[in-house]
Amino acid sequence: MKTGTEIESEWGSGGACSERGITPSPQPSPHGRGRRGRSAPLIECTLVIRAAARLLPLPWGEGRGEGEAGRLPQHVRITSRGTIAALCSLLVIFAFTTVTHAQDPSLRFGGQIPPEVDTIYERGLSYLVGAQADDGSWKGGNDGCGVDGICLMAFLASGEDPNYGRYARTVRKAVRAIITKQDATTGYLPNSMYHHGFAMLALSEAYGVVDESLLWEGSSKVRSIGQALELGIRCAATSQKKNKWNAWRYSPDATDADTSVCGAMLMGLLAARNAGMDVADDMINGAMDYMRRSTGKDGSVAYSGGFGGMGGSMNLTAISALVGAVTKTKETEQYKASLRRLLDNLEHRESGSYAEYFRYYMAQALFQGDYDAWQKWNAAKVRELHEMQGDNGSFNNNSYSTGMSLLGLALNYRFLPIYER
């Protein structure tokens, strides 16, 4: 259980690296993929090429190597649409000739989406547009790169074209805000390692779909998204090496760890790897060892201390199940126990400041672990959020709650690469 300062804020405070510590469907449905303009084909092709970069000897490098090796050049990813179309055709043929078993299309592309989802999502995005500060950030509690990343991902997950759609300006401002705040020397994305994890996740989702020839129009370029990710990964590695648990806590210089921050960092690193960045296996394996040691036989997950269970919250069980699924370690007893606990408690709700946090992780954990259970849970949450949303489109009148609540629904759209099953 969390007590004292642990309950005060999941977002924590910065450490020595911080300059300022702050407390803390192939056949789309009428409401489905591709409904929001020109982004769907481009995003789909980009995702296929991303995956193929690790499987095929493409001309710009093989696999995930050092520096630029294995990373898709910007002109290939975005501006050369003819090249993307040609590659997609070849890669689709490759996929169909090498895959030995078919996946239910609804898992990949989505089935019928409850009509309320669009209504909730559009109203929530409208609120976030109005709440964005001139510098591209979002204020009003838990400020920092992580909250900016959460709000950015809400827009990227909507399916609207991030370069020419209605929210293109909002997206560019948010990406610039995150990169500008990054420490150019350490790579730290303030105001805590919790923020750092979510910011890396958001930059990874933006990498390859946001046209960087447009990103810095009207302002001085600080660094590319890929460069920012390289710095962020380096910071994560440096911080982990200082930590006796091979994990992370709020400060980049912390020697203790907790499963909440560790889960956020793992998702950021896994997304970066999925985007083609070089993330060492040792980083992922070390952190996953910590998560497994913290998981009890009943599926409960200890907040800190590195010893299993001890009656940890459902939030932590959802995080543990999610990282277990994304790292493809579903065969472990810890993963099975975590998923079983979630499935046995589908009616569970969190209150207060952890409600959005729980919905965000529970949605992804169920989607990755038991699609049928996710469908039932999702239908109930759509109704719940429809009733909870404020007249101004927000949740709890703040950007963090609104962004997290929208991302809890975004699996209905399946646009973010990290949501792939």
Q: What is the DSSP string of 84-128?
A: HHHHHHHHHHHHHHH--SPPPHHHHH--PPPHHHHHHHHHHHHHH
1 inside domain: no
Q: Are residues 345 and 371 in the same domain?
A: yes
pLDDT band at 142 (very low <50, low <70, confident <90, very high): confident
pLDDT in tens, 187-196: 999 999 999 9
Cβ-proximal residues to 255 (8 Å cutoff; 6+ apart), any chain: 242, 243, 244
Least confident of 87-96, 343-352, 393-402: 87-96
Least confident of 48-52, 116-120, 206-210, 398-402: 48-52
Mean pLDDT of 332-352: 96
354 inside domain: yes
pTM of model > 0.85:
no
397 inside domain: yes
26 inside domain: no
Least confident of 36-45, 158-167, 237-246, 338-347: 36-45
Q: Are residues 393 and 247 in the same domain?
A: yes
Query: How many structural domains are present in the chain?
Result: 2
Mean pLDDT of 87-112: 46
Q: Are residues 86 and 125 in the same domain?
A: no
161 inside domain: yes
132 inside domain: yes
Q: Are residues 216 and 271 in the same domain?
A: yes
Q: Are residues 208 and 314 in the same domain?
A: yes
Structure tokens at 221: 């370029």
Q: Are residues 255 and 286 in the same domain?
A: yes
- Could you give the 3-state DSSP secondary structure of residue 398? strand
pLDDT of residue 11: 63
pLDDT of residue 12: 60
Mean pLDDT of 321-348: 97
Query: Is 50 exceeded by the pLDDT of residue 63?
Result: no
pLDDT in tens, 195-248: 999 999 999 999 999 999 999 999 999 999 999 999 999 999 999 999 999 999
pLDDT band at 365 (very low <50, low <70, confident <90, very high): very high
Q: Are residues 204 and 348 in the same domain?
A: yes
Q: Closest by alpha carbon to 264, among 225, 319, 189, 187?
A: 319
Helices 371-388 and 115-131, axial angle in degrees (round to 10): 60
Phi then psi for residue 41, to 5 deg, are: -60, -40
> d(Cα 173, Cα 197) in Å, to the nearest integer?
20
Helices 371-388 and 399-409, axial angle in degrees (round to 10): 140
Mean pLDDT of 362-387: 97
5 inside domain: no
Task: State the residue for tokens 């090496």.
Answer: 241
B/e letters for 227-247, b = 16+ CB within 10 Å, e = fewer, are ebbbbbbebbeebbeebebbb
Contact 138, 131 (CB under 8 A): yes
> d(Cα 104, Cα 25) in Å, to the nearest integer?
10
Look at residues 102, 132, 154 and tell me which one is the last residue of a structural domain: 102
Look at residues 69, 102, 135 and tell me which one is the last residue of a structural domain: 102
pLDDT of residue 421: 82
Q: Are residues 133 and 61 in the same domain?
A: no
Query: Within its chain, how far is the Cα of 84 from the centroid?
Result: 24
Q: Are residues 229 and 288 in the same domain?
A: yes
182 inside domain: yes
Mean pLDDT of 117-138: 97
**Concatenated DSSP letters for 35-80?**
TTSSHHHHHHHHHHHHHHTTTS--TT-SSS-STTTTPPPHIIIII-
Mean pLDDT of 297-302: 94
Share of the chain above pLDDT 90, in %: 68
Q: Are residues 274 and 241 in the same domain?
A: yes
* CATH number of the domain residue 319 falls in: 1.50.10.20
Cβ-proximal residues to 40 (8 Å cutoff; 6+ apart), any chain: 33, 34, 159, 415
Least confident of 59-73, 147-161, 402-416: 59-73
Q: Are residues 60 and 146 in the same domain?
A: no
Mean pLDDT of 125-132: 98
Residue ranges making up the domain that contains 269: 117-419
Residue 286, burial from CB neighbour count under 10 angstroms (0-12, 13-18, 19+)? middle
Q: Are residues 92 and 200 in the same domain?
A: no
What's the DSSP call for residue 311? T
